[in-house]
Structure 1
Amino acid sequence: MAANQPLAPATASTGSRSVETVIVGGGQAGLATAYWLTRAGRECVVLEARDRVGDQWRERYDSLRLFTAARVDGLPGMPFPGRKSAWPTGRELADYLENYAANLGAAVRTGVRVLDVEVVTGGGFAVSTTDGDLQAVNVVLAAGSDASPKVPDVAAQLDPGIRQLHSSQYHNPAQLLQGPVLVVGASQSGADLALEAAHAGHQTWLSGRNHGQIPINERIAGPLFWFAANHVLTLRTPIGRKLRPAIRRGGSPLIRTKRADLDAAGVHRMTARTVGSQDGRPVLEDGTVLDVANVLWCTGYRPDYSFVHPAAIGPDGYPAETGGAADGVPGLFYVGLIFQSGFYSHLVGGAGRDARVIADRISARTLAGHPVAMQGW
């Protein structure tokens, strides 16, 4: 079925269209879920708010590369093209996802934003979108955990003459003012942007907790990292359960850009966090005051499920779910959350693993007595 096929007509009784499963989000997690549902003979529709599948990756900084090699970046049924040892760029991934969607065999609607998901008395969901209303037996929330950029309160205290950009707004060094740069957040994106700023001739500080690094080269480290992400750093192991909160707060180790790269480029690595201001300048928790012209906030994102009613949220700001199934809301599922089942859950090549679990649960639930009359999808 071609992407962006017109939606089925509304029913006379409700004024809305019936769909067995609505998947919110056309990124890797949503598309992988649609793949497994389609293979199981279950019909679904993927709703992607952006105009093109993959745009969430096209919007990221120009130099972005995945920190996993192409050999493990494919989704179910379609290996990632090109050299298997290459580090795909964000735009290469975007094009891959767009091609994947076009060959998926499921309805993928772009430019359709979901406004509201509400549980219906008696079962199912009412889904309100910018292209009309839907009724669904199941809803899969696959829009990821990066809905809302997270910027510390101290940002509002800094001198307005300092150029401040969240990593979601940053594309390349041409956006920076002349002068020093402070990069806040020392995980992978922070290391990437600090290295880029230094290479562009800016005196650069990188502020944030040291989360470690994988010290060996990619040829050896890649397979080891992939094994650890899939078998060690999971909710099935004590170490995985212990590390999950830190990883969800943005505590991933450096994988591609290493501390030696930063040191060689002259980046000043500061393990103290940025916590305040003095005369409009940023202050680190050790009292260091930095006179900079730019601040890049590589401080992550917050999930946003305010459009889902009800959507139980845990103390960490993530949905209350068990194995991807929402606690207390039958038929509501999540996929693609950071460390949902393991470190692999939010990696491109790991999305298919959790997606298959969710698709199997939906299939079992439907066969157990939750049918729906499909209308021409």
Structure 2
Amino acid sequence: MHSSYDAVVVGAGQSGLAAAHHLRTRGLRTVVVETGPEPVGSWPHYYDSLTLFSPAKYSALPGLPFPGDPDRYPHRDEVVDYLRRYADTVTADIHTSRAVTEVDHDGHLFTAHTDTGHSYTAPRLIAATGGFATPNTPTLSGQGDFTGNILHASRYRSPADFAGQRVIVVGAGNSAVQIATELAETASVTLASRTPVKFVPQRPLGRDIHFWFINSGLDSLPIGHLISEPPTAPIFDTGRYRGALAAGKPVARAMFTRLEADAVIWPDGTRSKVDTIILATGYRPNLSYLGNVGALDDTGTPMHRKGISTTHLGLGYLGLEWQRSLSSASLRGVGRDARRLVKQLDAAATRNSKGRNEIGIKR
């Protein structure tokens, strides 16, 4: 089955829904194609205790405020419910349980093919599968000989599964620290990282730090193209996590050098037995469906500037880490990026269409 639209959006998480909102605002017939069974992105798959690090009043998509106390930090399940409600407000066609497997491009139109046999054609395509779809799982030295369990943080749900175990959490970001701290209540936990954990006060001078980010203009500063390697985000902390590490729950150590049977070897040569290693080592973009059109570099990274493809007219990206600003991959920032991206893609598609018409007239 084949359908034609003005725009195809791949992914119905926060990025795809924000894109659809702005596309429909401009009167463009839009389809959003989502792999999962509902338009909520990856949120249902995150760990049970996950809460946003930005208050509700800064965590909304365009056109629909986040409900409830604006100063609270919403829980994972609240975000899922919010995205469901948001999807109901978007007048685009949202097709779920269909994975885009390949995209073709004929110089003017993109055709997105799915695993169900459906295909969608449009002069505009937005890849909104974001930067958090594919777990980054580095291979550890000696991993083949390790007899314990190794899992990515994407598979972690709650401390109950690890009660009484010796656990090492690898990472220095917010997820690593949050997971390690809650695990330390029921397990023996070490937080291993290549760089020291950096803390930032959650509420400097009595205001949430996002108030200062937004009102200073730092939150939307277009410096993403200047970042060659995204830095590890600091830990926004009210004192809980700094206090936990100071108390040794979890114990913070420099990254181990290798694995050996049922243990890890630390830089000083000491050996510690371990049952489970949890890799809070981030994610990579899931853009393999663009592999055949030449839009990605040799590492699978999209070639773009501030979300606009540098290889294909009419192609854009949303939700990538540091795509345009420090908030590009967040609920609070993706709507701003989506508005700018849709405006630029619309103008580019119009120029492309006009050029084709002029060529046709000359002929």
TM-score, length-scaled by structure 1: 0.85
**Correspondent of 2:39 among 44, 53, 59:** 53
Check if 1:360 corresponds to 2:343. yes
1:266 Cα deviation from its structure 2 partner: 2.2
User: Take 2:335 and 2:351, find their aligned partners in 1: how far apart are those partners?
Assistant: 24
User: Take 2:34 and 2:135, find their aligned partners in 1: how far apart are those partners?
Assistant: 19
Q: 1:206 to 1:360 in 2, by over 3 A?
A: same
1:223-278: CA deviations, max 9, x gaps? 35533895267444xxx66656132xxx11001463223334621011x2233123
Check if 1:157 corresponds to 2:157. no
| Corresponding residue number in structure 2 for 1:206 | 191
- 1:22 is paired with a residue of what secondary structure? strand
1:27 Cα deviation from its structure 2 partner: 0.8
Contact map agreement 1:163 1:177 (CA 8 A) in 2: no
**Correspondent of 2:286 among 301, 304, 319:** 304
| Corresponding residue number in structure 2 for 1:67 | 53
Check if 1:252 corresponds to 2:233. yes
Contact map agreement 2:146 2:260 (CA 8 A) in 1: no
1:177 Cα deviation from its structure 2 partner: 5.7
User: Take 2:180 and 2:100, find their aligned partners in 1: how far apart are those partners?
Assistant: 36
1:60 Cα deviation from its structure 2 partner: 0.8
Q: 1:294 to 1:177 in 2, by over 3 A?
A: farther
User: Take 2:140 and 2:280, find their aligned partners in 1: how far apart are those partners?
Assistant: 14
Q: 1:55 to 1:127 in 2, by over 3 A?
A: closer
Q: 1:232 to 1:41 in 2, by over 3 A?
A: closer
User: Take 2:55 and 2:61, find their aligned partners in 1: how far apart are those partners?
Assistant: 13
Unaligned runs of 5+ in 1: 1-9, 11-15, 373-377
| Corresponding residue number in structure 2 for 1:141 | 127
- 1:368 is paired with a residue of what secondary structure? helix
Check if 1:127 corresponds to 2:112. yes
**Correspondent of 1:34 among 9, 20, 26:** 20
| Corresponding residue number in structure 2 for 1:112 | 98
User: Take 1:241 and 1:297, find their aligned partners in 2: how far apart are those partners?
Assistant: 28
Amino acid at match of 2:109: G
Contact map agreement 1:147 1:304 (CA 8 A) in 2: yes
1:110-137: CA deviations, max 9, x gaps? 11110101212x4211210133122221
Unaligned runs of 5+ in 2: 357-363
**Correspondent of 2:63 among 71, 74, 77:** 77
1:186-232: CA deviations, max 9, x gaps? 210000110111122x1110011225121353742423553389526
1:100 Cα deviation from its structure 2 partner: 0.2
What does 1:244-283 correspond to in 2, within 5 Å? 245-247=229-231, 251-256=232-237, 258-264=241-247, 266-270=249-253, 272-283=254-265
User: Take 1:229 and 1:367, find their aligned partners in 2: how far apart are those partners?
Assistant: 35
| Corresponding residue number in structure 2 for 1:227 | 214
Give the alignment's Cα RMSD to 1 decimal. Answer: 2.5
Q: 1:286 to 1:106 in 2, by over 3 A?
A: farther
Contact map agreement 1:158 1:281 (CA 8 A) in 2: no
Q: 1:243 to 1:332 in 2, by over 3 A?
A: closer
1:53-98: CA deviations, max 9, x gaps? 2251111100011111111000000011111111111111011011
Contact map agreement 1:311 1:319 (CA 8 A) in 2: no
Q: 1:151 to 1:366 in 2, by over 3 A?
A: closer
| Corresponding residue number in structure 2 for 1:5 | none
Q: 1:54 to 1:284 in 2, by over 3 A?
A: farther
- 1:193 is paired with a residue of what secondary structure? helix
1:307-336: CA deviations, max 9, x gaps? 212244357753110121111211111011
User: Take 1:30 and 1:358, find their aligned partners in 2: how far apart are those partners?
Assistant: 12
- 2:103 is paired with a residue of what secondary structure? strand
TM-score, length-scaled by structure 2: 0.88
User: Take 1:242 and 1:330, find their aligned partners in 2: how far apart are those partners?
Assistant: 22
Q: 1:67 to 1:370 in 2, by over 3 A?
A: same
What is the identity percentage for the equivalent residue pairs of Structure 1 and Structure 2? 30
Which has the higher mean CA deviation after the structures are superposed, 91-100 or 154-163? 154-163
| Corresponding residue number in structure 2 for 1:6 | none
